[in-house]
Structure 1
């Protein structure tokens, strides 16, 4: 079925409701967790809601949009960096770039209203329709573009029988924990109908983490941004959602722990190990070739003292496990899960701080070429995010979806299952021939069954 194109109706910029105080106008300097990702595309996540039925005379899309804008403005009183822009200060001796968030330059968050002739059921198809990419703004932007583009853009797309609220956020400003924290606060203020939104249950902690003994002003050893900015074209992949019920997840976790003779393998590690094994199998790579599993890890709980989940910023790292195709295929699920467990366990306070110190000595900005490894499985987002707690007065969302950004062959995006209870949804991105083979893979299909 061919869906209609998304039509943009209006756009505006939403600024914080209150003027910033002198303290909140100070530059916010970026950390070694954030600066390496200047080439990363904006993170794009959103929620699909059923529109209130026609007989509900109290619902008006015009009133709903106005309430969204006003509550967003109140939310930005707390999350004011989202309304700002990036700025760069060049140092001459030695030549360096200092990139920071400049609250003085605060044009606001972009807010787009769009419509599309499509239904909720169209979007819920397991094979993600291409029209979903148009539910998000800033599809081609990279984080460095935040000097001139909004750090956050919200697009509200009205479907025939639904509403999609999608956010595109600059990845050096916020990771998944921070984005869903913001969304929860916005939903809380929306539902409270409090015009000022002065009190929220989880105020963000905006002060940046700094390694003891180092300056909060972090610089890059470049004379011009052309020395580190890198844009690439990523081949189009097929995107498909697979649902793991709570029973299916429990069985996988039990199997992995039984094979390891332990009880330390987590549900996420067990499901990730399954994805790594099955995707590697369907790619039919040579037995002696390397296969890599990368996964995004939250450093908040790993540094000592730990950071609160209310710490607003990008505090993620990427850890990886590498083995040969032959070893991965000749051992069981538990073996793969245990390797992942050990990588996570070893990523402790000492490991994090050692990495930060090494980055200070040799600052780097990552290129996106790493997404194009021929035999990589890259696991991002988390089934632990409370996505479905963000209701905006519409009730529980029907589904969560993501945009086109940062997707390549082997990218896996994890979501909580809508029914809760430890269930998971996984958005798998693969080249079409690999996706076709995965849908027939015996180990994978068997794991989905209850």
Structure 2
């Protein structure tokens, strides 16, 4: 039997507020409003080999003071959601308006301890992701709409026996993965430089609205949150990290391109095709069953003119490639990668605007139950600067996520610790599918051994 998870005890909780600012309302775009039923973004970093000169109290003080300054720049995160009802002449509710009241109420900061857990326990390189990591993230199970009463950002610093874990729960209504990691990197820069240096990438807060709908706020045709809020609970899942070296991914890319007689298939398209085919094989589905691979894609650079890469908010759509199980598995890797490439090309300025107009005509709040159990969802991105989040105590040794937004077939992508084009994938599957995936020949041939803890520690001992 597995050993019981180490206990995680909360030692203190407080609200961190930005310096006083004039209160303002931040209107929400269709991209934001569609996230009301999504769980918070839960991502965090594991730090080891900390400078011996830094005590835990010093680390906490620096985190709190730098977070206060960061909230000055990312002021929506210190606010709360507010609701206004639209009523007809008979006082019947005809719709609801939502916005962020940027009132500086603050973000939650939690100090916790798990002294029975070690850095090696968290990494568990040969095993599943340990379930106790979920306790490193606050606001577990919260959805976007909960931001009326709960903070839009909650941070937890958890002390381990030989390191620390810094986890954030970030309301998905406020921003997407790009916004999340831009915030995390800015916070780290402020902590590392003690607020002396100007932000290298200050956020852009001007909300973008589709042509013809530039007079916010947007009214949604609901009379009560129960009309669109879902509290999703997945079946029991196994979660595991798989490492792909830069060389392994280069080989996948070359193989896919050679099969199609082209050189235009990207590394991530080839990797996603491998994952799609491999997970589909584990499910033993009939040949005529439809299956899809969805790639989370940000719209900023696809619009014309493009949005700033530092646009703070949501700007994402899933890119969807669909075929039958028989077609997917009877063709080669290149064929599946080409399907993905073709779907990526279709998400351009025109396609994005068409999707927005369709949403305005019939607003939809995304729910996790909408995802079909025959498909694969590639979330997050290996392009996010995860290991650039350096707070002044060395490079993180790993990134991990909480329980949010997980289901059978969800894959979360991270840049590999060593960089250079390497990728780590966190794959969530029902137990019987994970067991088959671990022995899938095509998949195993591309997976590489995880980096050893000693190597990770050697790369984290340079302090500013």
TM-score normalised by L of structure 2: 0.93
- SS in structure 2 at match of 1:95: strand
Q: Following the alignment from structure 1 to structure 2, what is the Cα–Cα distance between the partners of residues 266 and 216?
A: 38
Task: Return the offset for 1:198.
Answer: 7.7
Task: Verify: 1:6 aligned to 2:23, yes or no.
Answer: no
Q: How does 1:157-196 map to 2 (within 5 A)?
A: 157-194=158-195
Q: Following the alignment from structure 1 to structure 2, what is the Cα–Cα distance between the partners of residues 49 and 192?
A: 18
Contact persistence 2:175–2:313 (CA under 8 A) = yes
Task: Return the offset for 1:241.
Answer: 0.3
Q: Following the alignment from structure 1 to structure 2, what is the Cα–Cα distance between the partners of residues 401 and 333?
A: 29
Q: Following the alignment from structure 1 to structure 2, what is the Cα–Cα distance between the partners of residues 329 and 322?
A: 13
1:285 maps to what in 2?
285
- SS in structure 1 at match of 2:73: coil
- SS in structure 1 at match of 2:167: strand
What is the root-mean-square deviation in Å for CA atoms of aligned residues? 1.3
Task: Return the offset for 1:292.
Answer: 1.4
TM-score normalised by L of structure 1: 0.95
Task: Return the offset for 1:448.
Answer: 1.9
Contact persistence 1:74–1:198 (CA under 8 A) = no
1:421 maps to what in 2?
420
1:41 maps to what in 2?
39
1:145 maps to what in 2?
146
Task: Return the offset for 1:52.
Answer: 2.0
2:107 maps to what in 1?
109
Q: Deviations over 1:291-325 (max 9, x none)?
A: 11112110001111001111001111112111110
Task: Return the offset for 1:203.
Answer: 1.0
Q: Following the alignment from structure 2 to structure 1, what is the Cα–Cα distance between the partners of residues 176 and 359?
A: 19
Which 10-residue stretch deviates more, 3-12 or 210-219?
Answer: 210-219
Q: Following the alignment from structure 1 to structure 2, what is the Cα–Cα distance between the partners of residues 150 and 206?
A: 19
2:86 maps to what in 1?
91
Contact persistence 2:25–2:102 (CA under 8 A) = yes
Contact persistence 1:97–1:222 (CA under 8 A) = yes
Distance 1:61 1:51, change over 3 A: farther
Q: Following the alignment from structure 2 to structure 1, what is the Cα–Cα distance between the partners of residues 107 and 328?
A: 46
2:328 maps to what in 1?
328
Contact persistence 2:141–2:231 (CA under 8 A) = no
- SS in structure 1 at match of 2:300: coil
Q: How does 1:222-301 map to 2 (within 5 A)?
A: 222-301=222-301
Q: Following the alignment from structure 1 to structure 2, what is the Cα–Cα distance between the partners of residues 95 and 137?
A: 35
- SS in structure 2 at match of 1:164: strand
Task: Return the offset for 1:34.
Answer: 1.4
Q: How does 1:204-219 map to 2 (within 5 A)?
A: 204-214=203-213, 215-219=215-219
Contact persistence 2:243–2:448 (CA under 8 A) = no
Q: Following the alignment from structure 2 to structure 1, what is the Cα–Cα distance between the partners of residues 227 and 327?
A: 39
2:65 maps to what in 1?
70
Contact persistence 2:240–2:426 (CA under 8 A) = yes
Q: Following the alignment from structure 2 to structure 1, what is the Cα–Cα distance between the partners of residues 272 and 110?
A: 35
Task: Structure 2 unaligned segments of length 5 or more: list them.
Answer: 450-464
Q: Following the alignment from structure 1 to structure 2, what is the Cα–Cα distance between the partners of residues 366 and 315?
A: 14
Q: Deviations over 1:29-84 (max 9, x none)?
A: 1111111121111110000000426xx2x211011101100010011110010010
Consecutive aligned runs of 4 or more in structure 1 exceeding 2 Å deviation: none
- SS in structure 2 at match of 1:74: helix
Q: Following the alignment from structure 2 to structure 1, what is the Cα–Cα distance between the partners of residues 7 and 323?
A: 44
Task: Return the offset for 1:365.
Answer: 1.3
Q: Following the alignment from structure 1 to structure 2, what is the Cα–Cα distance between the partners of residues 331 and 142?
A: 40
- SS in structure 2 at match of 1:364: coil
Task: Return the offset for 1:3.
Answer: 3.1
Task: Return the offset for 1:234.
Answer: 1.4
Q: Following the alignment from structure 1 to structure 2, what is the Cα–Cα distance between the partners of residues 400 and 149?
A: 25
1:375 maps to what in 2?
374
1:156 maps to what in 2?
157
Q: Following the alignment from structure 2 to structure 1, what is the Cα–Cα distance between the partners of residues 163 and 359?
A: 46
1:81 maps to what in 2?
76
Distance 1:241 1:6, change over 3 A: same
Q: How many residue pairs align between the two structures?
A: 439
Task: Structure 1 unaligned segments of length 5 or more: list them.
Answer: none
- SS in structure 1 at match of 2:65: helix
Q: Deviations over 1:165-191 (max 9, x none)?
A: 001001111111111100111111101
